[in-house]
Every structure is written in structure tokens, then in C-alpha cells.
Amino acid sequence: MSQGEIMTNAKDQVLLDKLANAAREGKISRRSFMHYAAVAGVTSTTATGLWTSSAKAEPKRGGTYRLAQHDGNSSDTHDPGTYLTFAMINLAHTYRSYLTQINPDQSLGGDIATEWSATPDAKEWTFKLTDKASFHSGGKVTANDILASMNHHRGEGNTSAAAALLADVEDIVDNGDNTVTFKLGSPNADLPWLMTDYHLAIVPANEDGSANWQSGDGSGPYKLVENEFGVGSRLVRHDGWHGEGAYFDEVQILIINDPNARQTAVITGDVDAASQLENKTLGLLSRNPDIKIDNVASAAAVTMPMHTNTAPFDNPDVRNALKMSVNREELIEKIQFGAATIGNDFHHSPAMPYFPESIEQRPYDPDQAKALLKKAGAEGLTVSLSTADSVTSGAVDAAVLYAEHAKAAGITINVVREANDGYYSDVWLKKPWCMVQWGARPTPDVMYSLAYKDDASWNESFWQNERFNVLLRQGKAELDDAVRAEIYTEMGQIARDDGGTVIPYFPNFVYARRGNLEHSGELAASWPMDGARAAQRWWFA
């Protein structure tokens, strides 16, 4: 169901019934339920009441949960520093645990850490650890293990992909009272959010303080019994698990890289869930009464950064003209088959905290784009847009469609198809306008610091905006949520109106499950399968 569809029927009472129904069947998340209910003109208290009455469900224990998982590779490893595939991200959340986790309602919750606090300057964060957590091999999870796990990604010569994430951490200390303190070089109010990153899994420490990741030991809800990378794994419940959930007796993960095979497996009941579906068959699959489809707005994004230091993109009017000459709705409809959330040219997805609802959506307006170009003296603009098939599904098609839209504004976009291999080393940051797929990041600060900050090495549009960067630094050090929300609203507005990046849409996560597999109705949006924690949170009816 697309958002636009909902909007047009807004005043319809039928809608509310449908919503309640959808909620009961677990088809929509609480977040979207509240959102749609608000659109329909229901007060939030009524909506909450409606939600709780319709989506109430009692978890049950037992059963074997079989998952068809996409994107697995035989050269995956247990090393958290090189987790790369979706299969490993999912497995990591099943057999290992983290300091914190993203809850189904997108708030931040504890995993190994039960509570956390910062000094007022946000430069020192202390995490209190639960005393219940234990590794599958027996030992308790101690502060020592946390230190080893974190130091695996730090220091000279480390080989972790998460090194950049912890670059600001100057020291991590074991306080001796089951708490650890992270000392930062500069303030960072988001550190607890960073701890949800899939690389930062907790593994046991060796005698010498290094991390022992090789054994595949962990402290997650399930214990690995059999595992062959690129083929599949079998796990059983870890009885000493410290958290809530872990309702299944056994979890079987089957790596199925072919989308058709995944889809068939879930239709025939060979598996209970499939971690990713092909968007083009969504409509057909949703007619199957045995299958439920979860379509979750994510924080992943497709961006088209223009180098703002290169003509003609150095003129904000040209940039805005290009932003105006894309028909986002049609892109979402044709390329994503509706399974995407519309973008508004600032890299802050509704699935992230502090999302600014108040910023007006930029429409498709070729006439105004034409006027802007005239103002900039760049009528009949001709530009090249580089893309490759590997960027995202239908990337080239999307670019071609964009070129069609831009024709109405008198803009000629030459779509340049680049090679898949080496795209991110040869095209990205090198060609003045290209297409990029970004994975989900937990907070707007992480995203902006990574790709929009003036001195960031991945500032993909080479964008320099003084106010934006002042706000960014201010927001990073701000511990008050209300103030931060205001800061991110202003930053979003600036990026939308001055930035060099076209963000047409945020692709949704789309996954399917058999009818007897239940979840709370809310789904974490950080990764597919309820933030990769379906094995922990879901149950059989």
C-alpha cells in the first residue's frame, strides 16, 4: 500500500477498520499505524488504544524456525571486523550479542548493557553491563570481554571495517564494578546508538586481551550447532540467555541466494520465512493467503551526489532544478514496485530517530526547474549521470527513467553505465554525478558526519555549508533529545535546499513469513527481519 493511496482516502472510516485489521494481522508496524491513523484524523491516544487492542498477541515457546536467507557467501567468516553479507549480519544477531540494540519501535534498548550515561560534555560514556549474560561455552560475559571485542576494531594494524566508527574513541576502561567507560576525543551524543553496529559483536577475550572470534562462540540467544558458510547453519536456544524472547527451540538458516528459490521455498512451506523478496512479485505474492509480507521503511538510501565544487553543479539553482525534475513517485512505483519511502533530498530517513516531519516534500515540477535554470543561465542543461547495475536493483532503469522525467524541464541527462566491479573505487567520489546505495545508519548524526561533513573523506558531493557544519557539531554534543530534534530539522532543511545530493527514495526492506509465524506488529528498521533479530523476537502461533 503506498502512502499516496492512503492520503487520498484519508477521511474514510473504512481506512481505520483496514488499519486495525492490518495491525491485528501484523501487516504494518506501530510506527506506520500511528502515522496513518494521524493522517486519518485520529488523536494519538485513540490510536494507541486502537493499536493495543488490535495487535495484542502472546508469544509462545517452541518450534523450529527455518529461514531462507539471502546474500550468503562461502567465504564468510566469524570475524566481526569483516562481517559483510546480509547472511552474516543476520547470523551475528542470532548467535552473538551487542551492547545495545534497536527495539522494534525504533527506540534504543539495552542488550548486554542495561543502562548507560554520559558526562555532560558527552565525551565519556559509561555502560553498565548485565550480570546475567553468559557465553555458549559457559563463562560469564565480563567487562574484559567487552574491552577485547571493542579493541578488535581499534589500534594500529587492525583489519576491521568498523575501524572508522570507533576512530574517536581514545580509551576504553574497565571500571571494575561491571561497568565500562568509553573516553572520546570529541563529544558524541550518539555513542550508544553506534554500539548497535553489526560489527561490534561481543566475543570472548583471550588471555592476552585479544578477541577470540575464531571459535564462533557468542552470547546471543541461540547457540551454533552446525555451520557451513554460504550453505546454512543450525542453532539451538541458549538457555542462559540474558534477554527476553528466544522463543524457538531451534533455528535453521538456509542460504538461498536465488530470489525465485527463496520465494518458492516460502510458498511451499520448505521454510518459515524469507529474508528478502523480489519487489516485482510482491503484488502476486500478497494474494497468497498463507503468506504474510512485511514491508518496512528502512534507513538505507539511494543517493545521487553532484560534486558541488564542479560546474555546473556549483550553482545551487542548477542543483535544485535537477532535484525538481525527478518524478519520485514514478521511480518508486516503477523501480521499487511501491516498496520504498519517498526521499526529500536530505539523508534522514523516517526510520531514523529525530525525523523532521515538518519539512515540506519537494514535488516534481519541471516548469519551476526550467525557471531556475533560466535564472542560473543554464537553459538546455546537459549532464551525465553515472550508474551501474550493482548499485541497487534497477539502478540503470532508474537513471533512464530520471532522464525521461528531466526532458520535461529541458534537461538532457546522459546515463552512463559503468562497470560493476570497482564502481566504488573508480566512479564514486570521482565522477561529478553518480548513483550510490547507502546502507542503513542508526542516527542522522552518523550519516551526516560520514557523507556530508565538510572534512569527511566520503563527503560525496564535496559540499561545504558553514551553518550545516556548525549545527552538526552542535548536535553531536547535545544530549537533550528535544534540542537535537530541532537541530536535525534545520539541518535537513539546509541539505534539502542547498545540498548537492538528490535522494529519490529510501528502499524498503521486504520480507515474507508463513502465516503461523508471529511478531509483535512492530519491526526494527535497521536490517531486514526485524533488525536481524527475528529469531530472538518472533514466535509460532
Partner 1 sequence: MSLFVIGYYTLLLVVSCLAAYFNKKTIFLLAFSLTLVSFVLGIVGGPGALRAVAICAGLLLLTGMVSYAFREFLIQMAESNIGLSFTNNPPVLYGCIIIPIVLIVLSRLLEWPITEFALAALILVIILIGMNSETAKELRTAPMTAAFGMFVIFTYAIAGIFAPYIAPHGEAEVISSAFAPADESMLLGADQLGRDMFSRIVYGARNSVGLALTATVAAFVLGAGAGLLAATKGGWFDQLMGRIADVIMSIPSLIFALLMLSIFGPSTLVIICAVAIIYAPRVFRLTRAVAGNVVVMDYIEAAKLRGEGTGYLIRREILPNSTAPLIAEFGLEFCFVFLLVAGLSFLGLGIQPPTADWGSMVRENATLISFGDITPLIPAASIALLTVAVNFVVDWMLFRSSGLKEQ
Partner 2 sequence: MGDIARLVGQRLGLGLIILLIISVIIFFMVELLPGDIAQAVLGQGATEENLAALRKEMGLDQPAIVRYLAWLKDAVTFDFGSSIVTKTPVTEIIGERFMNTLFLAAYAAVIAVPVAIILGVLVALLRNSIFDRVANVATLTSISSPEFFLGYILILYFSVKWGMFPAISSLSEGMSFGELLNRTFLPALTLVLVVVAHMMRMTRAAIINLLASPYIEMARLKGTPPWKVIVKHALPNAWAPIINVVALNLAYLITGVVLVEVVFVYPGIGQALVDAVSKRDFPVVQACCLIFAATFILLNLAADVGAILTNPRLRHPK
Q: Which is nearer to partner 1, 417 or 430 (CB)?
A: 417
Rounded Cα distance, 375 and 324, in Å: 15
Residue 74 binding partner per list partner 1, partner 2, none, with a CB distance cut-off of 5 to 8 Å that depends on partner kind? partner 2
Sequence-distant (6+) residues with CB within 8 A of 429 are 458, 460
Residue 394 interacts with partner 2 (CB under 8 A)?
no
39, 108, 163, 236: residue in contact with partner 2 (rule CB under 8 A):
163
Rounded Cα distance, 136 and 131, in Å: 15
Q: Which is nearer to partner 1, 97 or 263 (CB)?
A: 263
Residue 48 C-alpha from the chain's centroid: 25
Shortest Å distance, C-beta 263 to partner 1: 6
Residue 10 binding partner per list partner 2, partner 1, none, with a CB distance cut-off of 5 to 8 Å that depends on partner kind? none
158, 181, 227, 368: residue in contact with partner 2 (rule CB under 8 A):
158
Q: Which is nearer to partner 2, 158 or 493 (CB)?
A: 158
The answer to whether 409 and 366 have CB atoms below 8 angstroms apart is yes
Residue 456 interacts with partner 2 (CB under 8 A)?
no
- Name which of 461, 423, 452 is nearest 313 in CA terms: 461
Binding site for partner 1 (CB under 8 A): 259-260, 263-264, 267, 278, 280-281, 284-285, 333-334, 337, 389, 394, 396-397, 400-401, 404, 417, 419, 421
Residue 227 interacts with partner 2 (CB under 8 A)?
no
Residue 77 binding partner per list partner 1, partner 2, none, with a CB distance cut-off of 5 to 8 Å that depends on partner kind? partner 2
Rounded Cα distance, 243 and 227, in Å: 24
Residue 264 interacts with partner 2 (CB under 8 A)?
yes
- Name which of 518, 438, 528, 517 is nearest 93 in CA terms: 528
Shortest Å distance, C-beta 376 to partner 2: 33
Rounded Cα distance, 371 and 296, in Å: 37
Q: Which is nearer to partner 2, 39 or 456 (CB)?
A: 456
Q: Three-state SS string across 434-467, please? A: ECEEECCCCCHHHHHHHHCCCCCCCCCCCCCCHH
Residue 265 interacts with partner 2 (CB under 8 A)?
yes
Q: Which is nearer to partner 2, 265 or 385 (CB)?
A: 265
Shortest Å distance, C-beta 219 to partner 2: 23
Bridge partners (DSSP) listed for residue 383: 413
Tell me the window of 5-13, 156-164, 321-329, 486-494 that interacts with partner 2 (CB under 8 A). Answer: 156-164
Q: Which amino acid is at 126?
A: T
Residue 4 interacts with partner 2 (CB under 8 A)?
no
The answer to whether 110 and 101 have CB atoms below 8 angstroms apart is yes
The answer to whether 337 and 284 have CB atoms below 8 angstroms apart is no
17, 226, 454, 481: residue in contact with partner 2 (rule CB under 8 A):
226
Shortest Å distance, C-beta 240 to partner 2: 26
List strands edge to edge, sheet with 124-129: 113-118, 124-129, 179-184, 169-174
Q: Which is nearer to partner 1, 227 or 390 (CB)?
A: 390
Residue 416 interacts with partner 2 (CB under 8 A)?
no
Q: Which is nearer to partner 1, 278 or 486 (CB)?
A: 278
H or E element at residue 491: helix 481-498
The answer to whether 501 and 478 have CB atoms below 8 angstroms apart is no
Tell me the window of 231-239, 487-495, 501-509, 521-529 that interacts with partner 2 (CB under 8 A). Answer: 231-239
Q: Which is nearer to partner 1, 240 or 259 (CB)?
A: 259
Sequence-distant (6+) residues with CB within 8 A of 488 are 348, 354, 356, 444, 475
39, 147, 236, 267: residue in contact with partner 2 (rule CB under 8 A):
267
Residue 439 interacts with partner 2 (CB under 8 A)?
yes
b/e burial code for range 377-413 (CB count within 10 A of at least 16 → b): ebeebebebbbbeebbbbbbebbbbbbebbeebbbeb
Tell me the window of 262-270, 303-311, 319-327, 501-509 that interacts with partner 2 (CB under 8 A). Answer: 262-270
Residue 164 binding partner per list partner 1, partner 2, none, with a CB distance cut-off of 5 to 8 Å that depends on partner kind? partner 2
Bridge partners (DSSP) listed for residue 228: 232
Residue 262 C-alpha from the chain's centroid: 22
2, 3, 48, 82: residue in contact with partner 2 (rule CB under 8 A):
82
First to last CA, the chain: 25
Tell me the window of 48-56, 204-212, 230-238, 313-321 that interacts with partner 2 (CB under 8 A). Answer: 230-238
Phi, psi of 280 (to 5 degrees): -70, -20
Residue 439 binding partner per list partner 2, partner 1, none, with a CB distance cut-off of 5 to 8 Å that depends on partner kind? partner 2
Rounded Cα distance, 379 and 398, in Å: 24
Residue 151 interacts with partner 2 (CB under 8 A)?
no
Residue 430 binding partner per list partner 1, partner 2, none, with a CB distance cut-off of 5 to 8 Å that depends on partner kind? none
Q: Which is nearer to partner 1, 285 or 321 (CB)?
A: 285
Shortest Å distance, C-beta 288 to partner 1: 9
Q: Which is nearer to partner 1, 148 or 395 (CB)?
A: 395
Rounded Cα distance, 63 and 247, in Å: 8
Residue 401 binding partner per list partner 2, partner 1, none, with a CB distance cut-off of 5 to 8 Å that depends on partner kind? partner 1
Rounded Cα distance, 519 and 539, in Å: 7
Q: Which is nearer to partner 2, 157 or 176 (CB)?
A: 157
Rounded Cα distance, 239 and 46, in Å: 40
In the complex, the residues that contact partner 2 under the rule CB under 8 A are: 68, 73-77, 82, 84, 157-164, 226, 228-232, 234, 254-258, 260-261, 264-265, 267-268, 270-271, 419, 421-422, 424-425, 439
